[in-house]
Structure 1
Amino acid sequence: MRSNARCQEVERFGWIRDSTVQEAACLTFVRATGVDPVAAGFGAVSGHARALDFGEFCEEAYAQPYPVIGLRIVGDWVLVVEDNGLQGTRPEVLTRVSARTEALSVFWNTNLSTRFSYAVGGEVRTTFEALLPEFREGTRPDALEELREGLPWSALDSGNQAEGVELMLALAARITGQPLTPTWEEGQFLTFPVAAWPEDLRADPDALERLADRCPPGVIDALRAADDRARRRAAVAVARRAAELAECADHPVISAVLASADDPVMDREAISEAVREWTWLLHRHRATSKVRNQVRAAEVLRQATHDDPLAAVCASLSAAIGIRGLDAAELSGVVEDALGRA
């Protein structure tokens, strides 16, 4: 049986059911003394900062096609608010904002999805859904088990999202020592649009199989038999062809990354930053099909920088199929030519 004290610990967050963000939000807490490094970790566009009250911030977030964040200091922590956003759940963000500190996020949306995440020192230690905390992921999935003890996770009603949100906020308060109250919406927030970080490049053990319906069997077999040097050569060849077709092969960043193809580690950071900035500009300006093609070509090159040459060629091929004017048959020929060169 739950004690009254334990019930009250969760129920004190019942006010969230009537708040402006009752249906969907992400609240991220970062132990920090200032908002600027936290905003940068989210990918904030610093030149567009605005001070808004909470209602104005939510209206701005709803109106824009890109993420918008609001920040304020709460005790020893910086609170980052997203109205119907999810950047605070992404490992690309959590690893950055927690690099020299700790961070946690509480997420829920209108699809009844929830997520609690905790990161320290640049690694996501544990992350789980409110209704299924037994299915934890991360570098140390059990990192919060002692703190979770005593909270009524097993009593959650699968159809009542609000209970899960209140429970996650109670766990957050145990970590931060700063329980949210209804007054957190009062006053000004420092707000920024966000140029979202591209997804981290990840291993895909089934990458070749995923290409089976896009490339002839001979190409798949050749990639399977090739050594890593040949695979890297093929990935770069695909990226170069995409850049040529998109008329951006001479861009300083793209040409520099292509030129570093023989290095053990290509300049992934440079091309990742370029993809992030260019994607943001697509949101800000009405782009032509040529510009969109160039952004796609930059993403092909980013995929080609994957540490694993096989993953690099498979991912770059998949991304290149989205380039206007570049079809699977031509790409297969590019790969075959690259693999065939001594």
Structure 2
Amino acid sequence: MVEVPDAVVTELVRPVAAALPLIIARTPAAPAAELGRLRAVADGDTWPVHESAFGSRALAGAPARVRPASGLPPVRDALDSLPPLLVERLLGALELTVPELDLSSVPDLGGLLAKPSTGHFLYASMSGQSEAVTGVAVLEQSRPGVLPLVVALAHRLAAQPAIAARLTVGPGIVDERDIAAAHGAAHLALAVATTATVVHQVGIAPLVTKPPAVLGAAIGTAVLLLREAPMPAGYDAALLARARAEYLMPRQTHTSTPVAGHRFALLEGTSVPEVDFAGNGLVTVVPGGAVIRTGVEAGHVQVTLSILDGPPPAVATDWDEVVEVSWRAAVGGASLIGPHPGDLPKLHRVTPPWPGDYRLRVHARGRDDTDLRGRESYQLLVWRAPAAPDTVYARADRLGYRLRGEAEPGRTERPETAYRWLSNSNLDVAATVTVVTGSSVGDVLRAFGADPARPESMRDINDELMRRQSIDPWVAVLDVGDAVIAVEYNGWEGSRAPVLTRSSAGGRAASMFWNVNAVTRLSFAEHGDLLLSVEPFDAVDAPRPVAPAVADLDFADHRRDKRQMGLVAVQRFTGHTVSADDVARIEAADVGFRIVPNLPALRPRRPRPGDPLGTVVDALAEIPEPQLRDLAWWVAAQAAQHGGLGEDPDVVASLTARALTEQARQRAGRSQGARSAHRWVWLALHGATNPDPVAAVADAVDAARYAAGPHAANLVADARARIVGFVPR
């Protein structure tokens, strides 16, 4: 802190005090109130009331988090801690006020700073920054020490009786917003008046003392003052009254809750105590709330918290453990807390803000599955009710029996537990796993539309698709003797009927698909026939060859993992397990194959609006098939010429054969990918092969116009003329 002589402070009291009313009167209430709450936020002494319009969490009841050291001077750091919109709002409101301040009687303060350096100072522009932020940086460079002097003087002046009286919020102001606004506006006014006094009286060139620089330094100084100044008398009561007035029930929130020491809590406090769970094995009541015992020692669990306006209508039956307890709130507003206060800002003081007796029903699932990330979950129901004995509605997990000191009952493992490894694998979020019997690896790849002769690094494929934000399909395979395992990371080709029917030509094929949106697909095929392909939401009505594979798999039970049950069905149908070791071997080999997308299905022509041939298209039905075939392949040839593939050997061979050669078909399929060229040329050739001669012409023209680009109008006109010429007269 800069040493400021008492005489200087005394001489500044009158002009600074005189400037305060004007600045306070022009300070908008909303940003002033947000400044005025800074000490309460720093102390974590807030309640969840309406969110700030400036993007800050100050009004959301979030305890302050420790900001990492920025390396900036205190005033700059304080200014940067505010939402940019708040700073801009204050800058716009007070920019014209700074020149109006009467500083004529203020003494020269230059003697309080070291002599300025001679010559020119160098300033690097901060593109995109607020004028206030830029102005503060200019002040720092132009006269080092000026900002510490502003802060020192503001602290000294705040303690002077004449100014301290103006900083005090009177007892007549009782609304939380009004108290915070008055508190913030008064301290901001002190900072503005002090900053203007200093920067204009220490010998800084007028060029760098413009209002944005003054206000930037003043706002940063006000933040430092308000973080230290105690909240006004009556603020706590006003804030509690506001929280109670705005609190609505019922409400529900879902969150990922951090856990440490096998526990988290719903508590009127800031730390989770260590307690004994021998009573019911799940939840223990403590002063001001309750502590919940988790299976995982450290990490995160999923928690749904519901605040009800009365008792829940029924007890949920799909949880492993359900226990109901009573606790007494001293003030109200218990928070959901983990190992660190402030980890869950949206659940700070979330229970009703009134004291009294409350009932808490805790539901737990997955406490025994600590090796499966993200599978442990809880539901907490809270409502006001008289104190009552603890009630245990369900006790089923092994952890609960151990904590209660009871013998664990025998339990038959469900068949899908063999696939628990899935949740800790790279297939967890989205994948398709296909198992094929009676086929070679090469045949399976070709059935998927991949070329066995074109292997690539799986990592390289994935990195490229991530860069392009593409979902182009690819597959990795593993030969396990008498079966082939095909794995698609975030792909679904193995769930499609054409792939399954081709794969199963020599035996059986089955696949399970899932994605991040909880969409799933379970499919079975045998000897080229698709037997079943369903979204398994409920009991699967399976044909006889599939029925044994889905027996005892209750897909309607959402407590059971559909992905795992689907892989059980795949295993039963094909006779082959997919193991974590299989996936590890695939990933260690790092070999994948891009899948050539399927070309569009060729269908008979159906009338559709906006056909490029217009009404002439109806005349196609009158033209003999040989002439229609001639016309379709003429259009395809035109597309190839316009698209620059007129001399391409595969195109020439296909035009000559009037059918796509195998090599051309592969290239046509690859052209449908996101990174491919000549897509429309190949689609025109593909369309010309349509078994329906009328559709062959229409499909070829539809694609050829895009291949022709700027020549599309001429191509379509020529096609129309040829059609008219072919019509019998």
For 2:534, what is the secondary structure of its paired residue?
strand
The whole-number CA distance in structure 2 between the counterparts of 1:228 and 1:111 is: 48
- Shift of the 223–129 alpha-carbon distance from structure 1 to 2, 3 Å rule, reads farther
Does residue 1:315 correspond to 2:699, yes or no? yes
Name 1:271's counterpart in structure 2. 664
What residue identity is the alignment partner of 2:554?
Answer: P
Contact 2:449 2:598 (C-alpha < 8 Å) held by counterparts: no
The whole-number CA distance in structure 2 between the counterparts of 1:15 and 1:149 is: 22
What residue identity is the alignment partner of 2:633?
Answer: V
The whole-number CA distance in structure 2 between the counterparts of 1:36 and 1:107 is: 22
The whole-number CA distance in structure 2 between the counterparts of 1:328 and 1:90 is: 38
Contact 2:596 2:666 (C-alpha < 8 Å) held by counterparts: no
The whole-number CA distance in structure 1 between the counterparts of 2:600 and 2:636 is: 18
Please give the root-mean-square deviation of Cα atoms over the aligned residues, in Å: 3.5
From 539, 560, 582, give the equivalent of 1:184.
582
For 1:222, what is the secondary structure of its paired residue?
helix
Name 2:475's counterpart in structure 1. 69
1:45-64 superposed matches below 5 A? 45-49=451-455, 62=466
Name 2:305's counterpart in structure 1. none
What residue identity is the alignment partner of 2:652?
Answer: S
Q: Which has the higher contact order (CA 8 A, sep 6+)?
A: 1
C-alpha deviation, 1:104, in angstroms: 1.7
Contact 2:653 2:661 (C-alpha < 8 Å) held by counterparts: no
Does residue 1:202 correspond to 2:607, yes or no? no
Name 1:248's counterpart in structure 2. 645
- Shift of the 33–41 alpha-carbon distance from structure 1 to 2, 3 Å rule, reads closer
- Shift of the 338–152 alpha-carbon distance from structure 1 to 2, 3 Å rule, reads same
What residue identity is the alignment partner of 1:214?
Answer: D
Name 2:429's counterpart in structure 1. 23
The whole-number CA distance in structure 2 between the counterparts of 1:143 and 1:231 is: 45
Does residue 1:113 correspond to 2:497, yes or no? no
From 662, 665, 687, give the equivalent of 1:303.
687
What residue identity is the alignment partner of 1:298?
Answer: W
Q: Which of the pair has more CA radius of gyration?
A: 2
From 152, 173, 177, give the equivalent of 2:571.
173
C-alpha deviation, 1:77, in angstroms: 1.6
What residue identity is the alignment partner of 2:716?
Answer: L
For 1:327, what is the secondary structure of its paired residue?
helix
The whole-number CA distance in structure 2 between the counterparts of 1:57 and 1:326 is: 36
From 214, 221, 224, give the equivalent of 2:618.
221
Per-residue deviation, residues 286-316 of structure 1 (Å, max 9, x unmatched): x7xxxx3x44212210121122223322322
- Shift of the 19–91 alpha-carbon distance from structure 1 to 2, 3 Å rule, reads same
C-alpha deviation, 1:132, in angstroms: 6.8
C-alpha deviation, 1:27, in angstroms: 0.8
The share of aligned pairs that are identical, in percent, is 24
Name 1:148's counterpart in structure 2. 550
The whole-number CA distance in structure 2 between the counterparts of 1:97 and 1:303 is: 26
C-alpha deviation, 1:171, in angstroms: 0.9
Per-residue deviation, residues 256-303 of structure 1 (Å, max 9, x unmatched): 322334xxxx345453123135567x84xxx7xxxx3x4421221012
What residue identity is the alignment partner of 1:251?
Answer: D
Larger mean Cα displacement after TM superposition, 228-237 or 60-69: 60-69
The whole-number CA distance in structure 2 between the counterparts of 1:269 and 1:33 is: 21
Contact 1:103 1:119 (C-alpha < 8 Å) held by counterparts: yes
Contact 1:45 1:192 (C-alpha < 8 Å) held by counterparts: no
Q: How does the TM-score come out when normalised to structure 1?
A: 0.75
- Shift of the 185–17 alpha-carbon distance from structure 1 to 2, 3 Å rule, reads same
C-alpha deviation, 1:195, in angstroms: 4.3
Contact 1:275 1:299 (C-alpha < 8 Å) held by counterparts: yes
Per-residue deviation, residues 174-204 of structure 1 (Å, max 9, x unmatched): 1122233433333334622314143363325
The whole-number CA distance in structure 1 between the counterparts of 2:570 and 2:551 is: 13
C-alpha deviation, 1:98, in angstroms: 2.6
The whole-number CA distance in structure 2 between the counterparts of 1:73 and 1:32 is: 12
Q: How does the TM-score come out when normalised to structure 2?
A: 0.38
Per-residue deviation, residues 219-241 of structure 1 (Å, max 9, x unmatched): 23213444433433332232121
The whole-number CA distance in structure 2 between the counterparts of 1:132 and 1:312 is: 43
C-alpha deviation, 1:244, in angstroms: 1.7
What residue identity is the alignment partner of 2:690?
Answer: H
C-alpha deviation, 1:30, in angstroms: 1.4
From 632, 635, 641, give the equivalent of 1:235.
632
For 1:105, what is the secondary structure of its paired residue?
strand
Contact 1:68 1:191 (C-alpha < 8 Å) held by counterparts: no
What residue identity is the alignment partner of 2:549?
Answer: L
C-alpha deviation, 1:90, in angstroms: 3.3
How many pairs are equivalent?
312
Contact 2:444 2:503 (C-alpha < 8 Å) held by counterparts: yes
Larger mean Cα displacement after TM superposition, 171-180 or 27-36: 27-36
The whole-number CA distance in structure 2 between the counterparts of 1:78 and 1:254 is: 35
For 1:99, what is the secondary structure of its paired residue?
helix
Contact 2:636 2:685 (C-alpha < 8 Å) held by counterparts: yes
From 323, 327, 340, give the equivalent of 2:712.
327
The whole-number CA distance in structure 2 between the counterparts of 1:169 and 1:181 is: 10
Per-residue deviation, residues 63-102 of structure 1 (Å, max 9, x unmatched): 6754332222345321111110122223443343333232
Contact 1:234 1:339 (C-alpha < 8 Å) held by counterparts: no
Per-residue deviation, residues 112-147 of structure 1 (Å, max 9, x unmatched): 3222222333343332222278699xxxx7752453
From 65, 70, 83, give the equivalent of 2:489.
83
Structure 2 unmatched runs, 5+: 1-410
What residue identity is the alignment partner of 2:686?
Answer: R
What residue identity is the alignment partner of 1:144?
Answer: V
Larger mean Cα displacement after TM superposition, 43-52 or 87-96: 43-52
More helix by share: 1
Name 2:499's counterpart in structure 1. 93
- Shift of the 332–151 alpha-carbon distance from structure 1 to 2, 3 Å rule, reads farther
C-alpha deviation, 1:26, in angstroms: 1.0
